[in-house]
Structure 1
Amino acid sequence: MALLEICCYSMECAVTAQQKGADRIELCAAPQEGGLTPSYGVLKTVRQKVTIPVHPIIRPRGGDFCYTDGEFAAMLADIRTVRELGYPGLVTGVLDAHGNVDMPRMRDIMAAAGKMAVTFHRAFDMCSNPKQSFENLKELGVARILTSGQQSSAEKGLELIRELIAHDDAPIIMAGAGVRASNLELFLDAGVKEVHSSAGHWVPSVMRYRNPGLSMSTDPNADEYSRFAVNGDTVADMKAIVARYDTE
């Protein structure tokens, strides 16, 4: 059966995803940044409340994946925290200025991760040579690569995804970016064994008092009174498609 990973941005979302059939969770903060390292409090409460595998993302900021020495030191410290909390895996990725996998730093990450499974995230989609990067990541021993096939969505990048999954050995190729119930069977038909989805929607704030003339964001047009959350019905629909596909 194909594995369904759901991206979650809170303990409540992680619990919902688990209840509705997710097989694994990628735990993040900051959805509008594409996912950043969760706080210690979130990491601790999710570890206590969720029993399916959870892989926190280790990403200190938004933007590119070429980090300063200080940012990388923080990443290693966060990896040690995640390992000490007993998480089975993590999600991360580091590139050099030329768009290559930063092998020295990734070796440090693999050493810090120890026995945790390491997923190389969509930094892969920013690599200058995806086939060489695949070989580099295979050499490092990463468990899987999350990719949209270097396109804006995994559906558009399906050709490269097919090429990558033609390798029968590790790392596993997990399709992500724009994967939803309406196109899930495309990936299953292509032989993708793991799919990644936010399965989310914007939820309005419960606040009754609102000050529309003030924003806490650097974007003055940002909506301060909504948050991105997992849609449990969407998770259940996707899980049902996977289960039905495997019985046909």
Structure 2
Amino acid sequence: MALLEICCYGLDAALTAQQAGADRLELCSAPAEGGLTPSAGVLRAVRQQLAIPVHPIVRPRGGDFCYTAAEFDTMMGDIAFIRDLGFPGVVVGVLDEDGQIDMPRMAKIMSCANGMAVTFHRAFDMCRDPFYALEQLTDSGVARILTSGQQASAAQGVALLRELNARSRAPIIMAGAGVRPENVRLFCEAGLQEVHSSAGHRVNSPMRYRKTGVSMSSGPGDDEYSRYCVSAQTVAALKKALKG
């Protein structure tokens, strides 16, 4: 049966995913940005309260994956902090200006990770040549690649996922983006050993008083009186579908 990784934005979501049967978690903040580095407080609380493996993401900002020297220094500090807390893995990705893996920086990341399993995240889907990127990441020693097959969703990218998986003995190719109970068997049939899902839904705020005309968000139409959470029912349904 394929391993199920759930993307969690915070402690409550992580506890829900663990209880519902997730095998491993990716821990992030900032769902609207596609996942940024969690805070120190969240990292400590998750490390203390979770029993299953948790791999925090290290991503200092949204946008592209070509970082300034200052941003990369921040990333290295975050990786060291996560390592010293005792997490078994970390999720990261760095590209150069030409859309290739930034190998000098990946070498520094691998050295800093010092025994942690490194997942290269969906920065892979922004690479110029996925097969060359696979060769680069194989050489770097990462444990897995999280990818949608360079498409908007993993279901659309399943042909490339299948080919990457066939070519790669290591790293593991893990399907992510739009993985749901109704399509998860597609990735098993493509030969993939791991899948990644947010298993998410929105939950209404408990606030009765709701201030109108004022927003903390820059996105037009964003609803600040709901939040993105892990659905225990969706995690359980994914596990059931994976069992066939």
The TM-score by the shorter chain falls in which range?
A: over 0.9
Partner residue in 2 for 1:42: 42
Once residues 220 and 154 of structure 2 are traced to their aligned partners in structure 1, the CA distance between those partners, rounded to angstroms, is 31
Partner residue in 2 for 1:111: 111
Match runs of 1:1-248 below 5 Å: 1-243=1-243, 245=244
Q: Relative to structure 2, which stretch is displaced further, 219-228 or 177-186? A: 219-228
Unmatched segments (≥5 aa) in structure 1: none
Alignment RMSD: 0.7
- Specify the code of the residue in structure 2 equivalent to 1:27: L
**Runs of 4+ off more than 3 Å:** none
Once residues 128 and 184 of structure 1 are traced to their aligned partners in structure 2, the CA distance between those partners, rounded to angstroms, is 27
Query: 1:66-124 CA deviation, whole Å, 9 max, x = no partner?
Result: 00111000000000000000000000000001000000001000000000000000000
Per the normalisation by structure 1, the TM-score is 0.97
Unmatched segments (≥5 aa) in structure 2: none
Once residues 229 and 168 of structure 1 are traced to their aligned partners in structure 2, the CA distance between those partners, rounded to angstroms, is 33
Q: Relative to structure 2, which stretch is displaced further, 37-46 or 215-224? A: 215-224
**What is the CA distance between 1:167 and its match in structure 2?**
2.6
> Any idea what SS the aligned residue of 2:154 has?
coil
Query: 1:21-71 CA deviation, whole Å, 9 max, x = no partner?
Result: 000000000001000000000000000110100000000000000001110
Per the normalisation by structure 2, the TM-score is 0.99
Query: 1:182-209 CA deviation, whole Å, 9 max, x = no partner?
Result: 1011111111110000000011111111
Once residues 125 and 167 of structure 2 are traced to their aligned partners in structure 1, the CA distance between those partners, rounded to angstroms, is 18
Query: 1:127-182 CA deviation, whole Å, 9 max, x = no partner?
Result: 00110000000000000000000000000001110001103510000000000001
Once residues 234 and 126 of structure 1 are traced to their aligned partners in structure 2, the CA distance between those partners, rounded to angstroms, is 28
Identity of aligned pairs, percent?
A: 64
